[in-house]
Amino acid sequence: MARRVGIYTRISRDDEGEALGVARQQRDCERLADLRSWQAVKVYEDNDVSAFKRNVVREEFELMLKDLRAGLIDGIVAYDLDRLARQPRDLERLIEIYDERPRLEFATVTNDINLGTPDGRTMARIMVAFANKSSHDASRRIKRKHLELAQQGKDSGGPAPYGWRKDDRTKVDPEAAKAIREAQREILAGVRIGTIRTRWQEQGLGNPREGTKRMAHHQVEHILTNPRLVGYRTYHGEILYGDDGQPVMGEWEPINTLEEWEAVCAAVAERKRKHPGRSLARKYLLSGIARCGLCKAKIRGQINQRWEPGTKATRFRYQCSVVNGGCGKVARAGDPVDRLIAQLVLEEQRSQAMVTAVPSEQRWAREVELEQINTDIAQLVEAERSKQITVATLLQLLPAKERMRDELKLERARFYKERRQAEAKGDTANLTVDEFFALPIERQQEIVLHSLSAVIIHPAGRGRRKFDPSLIEPVWR
């Protein structure tokens, strides 16, 4: 009976995504299996997967080891040993299985290594050690090249980040840039990143990973706060600074001004500090804002259990709940309460529009001071480089200057964040009630809370009654 073997194919990079490299390996391995009179029963393919990077899991490689240990296959055929392993620990895991099952077969197209013999294992260990060193050397050269490109403000290749054209990474994609700016305005107005992610997934925005329409929360956050948006070049996720102490500028069109970008980054960071690990999702406009007129406990929206699809009955109501520490004696249909509050708030904000207008041309008052600090830091570094001062002197003077620079940058970010937030939240003068309810729920709540500190819902008595606006009491700020 022919021995059943698995064919393992792998290639580290497949930029075109056509899997031509692994297909060539498979054909050569199948020919070798035929020559040995073995039956190839399964192909384990890891396309576009590194065997050198420690944080990469090769799913097909792991499955092959499991099948080999379980006796589902009687051996392995690979194109070359370095397709199987470039880390000694992976080779040792394979050798351990061959120790347990001495009759397993092993063959590669490019050389004659047999893991079933002591000499073959020794040779395999030597070859993998050399392959590992080769990968280390290549990695070091690539990192040095990428650092040099970064210092020159050039791209390192790869797929175009969202916001720039796929055929020319230096040119802005107008539609994507528009989506980014709109999402940033929503962030400043109080909308959650999760809400933006859901909308982007529905609209097909944001460059989700190939083969899926879903994006992770951190991916959307990175798109909206990426230093590339303002033209800054990054290296290993950090902004790269030049010898003059200034950020290295990339050779591409920016999407944001510095003020816009810093405002968004500050707003995201502030929200993380205020609500670490807590979901800010809301389903109903006045949840946490409405209060019971009897016990003054907070009221939350909940589904009306008597509601049936197709009926005119309201779908949800605001209910004082004993579970949440309330008296449980006050409840009101949600839709009419929401519409009443929306009308009152929008009318009040229209009347205040001229009074609360934000001067958009106002500049941060300490901009010149920050520029002078940056100049001082650059001069100190240059003085040490030209041997006018010692390293010891530099290290005595530099920390205080850097501390002052960082404090000023934080103050500038906070200033522009508050100004942009005021602009985003104050732009409600011309909203209709229908346009208000078309906004994300977080944005609706921000608009309400801009004018109200609470909404008191008073009891209406027993039995069915017509909605009475006088029993809904807004508490104005």
Going by pLDDT thresholds of 50, 70 and 90, the confidence category of residue 173 is very high
Residue 196's CATH number: 3.90.1750.20
Going by pLDDT thresholds of 50, 70 and 90, the confidence category of residue 137 is confident
Domain count, the chain: 3
Going by pLDDT thresholds of 50, 70 and 90, the confidence category of residue 211 is very low
Q: Is the pLDDT of residue 361 over 80?
A: no
Residues 215 and 189 in one domain: yes
Whether residue 417 lies inside any domain: the answer is no
Tokens found for residue 371: 């520029």
Numbers of helices and strands, H then E, in the chain:
14, 12
Distance, CA of 211 to CA of 223 (rounded, Å): 19
Distance, CA of 229 to CA of 420 (rounded, Å): 17
Strand partners of residue 64: none
Residues 189 and 97 in one domain: no
Distance, CA of 147 to CA of 403 (rounded, Å): 26
Whether residue 280 lies inside any domain: the answer is no
Tokens found for residue 312: 């005119």
Closest CA to 300 of 309, 289, 311: 289
Residues 36 and 100 in one domain: yes
C-alpha angle 292-298-303 in degrees, rounded to nearest 5: 90
Q: Is 414 exposed, middle or buried (0-12, 13-18, 19+ CB in 10 A)?
A: middle
Residues 334 and 208 in one domain: no
Q: Is the pLDDT of residue 113 over 70?
A: yes
Distances (CA, A) of 391 to 241, 374, 385, 386, 400: 20, 19, 9, 11, 15
Q: pLDDT value at position 213?
A: 61
Residues 346 and 254 in one domain: no
Residues 253 and 312 in one domain: no
Contact by Cβ (8 Å): 151, 242: yes
Q: Which of 225, 245, 274 is the last residue of a domain?
A: 274
pLDDT, tens only, 422-467: 766 556 667 788 888 887 787 788 788 878 889 999 988 776 568 8
Q: Residue 95 carries which side chain, given as an amino acid letter?
A: I
Contact by Cβ (8 Å): 163, 223: yes
Among the ranges given (290-299, 322-331, 462-471), the one the predictor scored with the smallest mean pLDDT = 462-471
Q: How many residues are listed for the chain in this entry?
A: 477
Which residue segment(s) compose the domain that 25 sits in? Answer: 4-137
Whether residue 361 lies inside any domain: the answer is no
Q: pLDDT value at position 358?
A: 47
Q: Which of 250, 274, 298 is the last residue of a domain?
A: 274
Q: pLDDT value at position 17?
A: 66
Tokens found for residue 361: 């041309």
Among the ranges given (328-332, 455-459, 471-475), the one the predictor scored with the smallest mean pLDDT = 328-332
Residues 270 and 298 in one domain: no
Q: Which of 213, 243, 274 is the last residue of a domain?
A: 274
Helix axis angle, 391-426 to 441-451, nearest 10°: 90
Whether residue 149 lies inside any domain: the answer is no
Distance, CA of 147 to CA of 248 (rounded, Å): 12
Q: pLDDT value at position 156?
A: 74
C-alpha angle 321-327-328 in degrees, rounded to nearest 5: 45
pLDDT, tens only, 390-426: 988 988 898 898 889 888 888 888 888 777 767 665 5
Contact by Cβ (8 Å): 198, 441: no
Whether residue 411 lies inside any domain: the answer is no
Distances (CA, A) of 204 to 176, 207, 209: 11, 8, 11
pLDDT, tens only, 57-83: 899 999 999 999 999 999 999 998 888
Q: Which residue has the higher pLDDT, 146 or 311?
A: 146
Residues 447 and 335 in one domain: yes
User: Which residue, chain included where needed, has tokens 């099948």?
Assistant: 67
The overall average pLDDT reported for the chain is 83
Whether residue 34 lies inside any domain: the answer is yes
Give Dmax over CA atoms of the chain in angstroms.
92
- Spell out the residues 6+ positions from residue 180 whose beta carbon is closer than 8 angstroms to its own: 162, 163, 223, 224, 229, 255
Q: pLDDT value at position 276?
A: 55
Q: pLDDT value at position 174?
A: 93
Mean per-residue pLDDT, 318-323 = 85
Residue 251: CB atoms within 10 Å: 12
Whether residue 460 lies inside any domain: the answer is yes
Residues 230 and 338 in one domain: no
Mean per-residue pLDDT, 270-278 = 65
Residues 223 and 119 in one domain: no
Q: Is the pLDDT of residue 132 over 50?
A: yes
Residues 19 and 133 in one domain: yes
Name the helix (H) or strand (E) containing 402.
Answer: helix 391-426
Residues 308 and 268 in one domain: no
Q: Are strands 75-78 and 105-108 parallel, antiparallel or unpaired?
A: parallel
Distance, CA of 317 to CA of 353 (rounded, Å): 32
Whether residue 199 lies inside any domain: the answer is yes
Closest CA to 125 of 89, 77, 78, 76: 89
Mean per-residue pLDDT, 156-169 = 85
Residue 8's CATH number: 3.40.50.1390
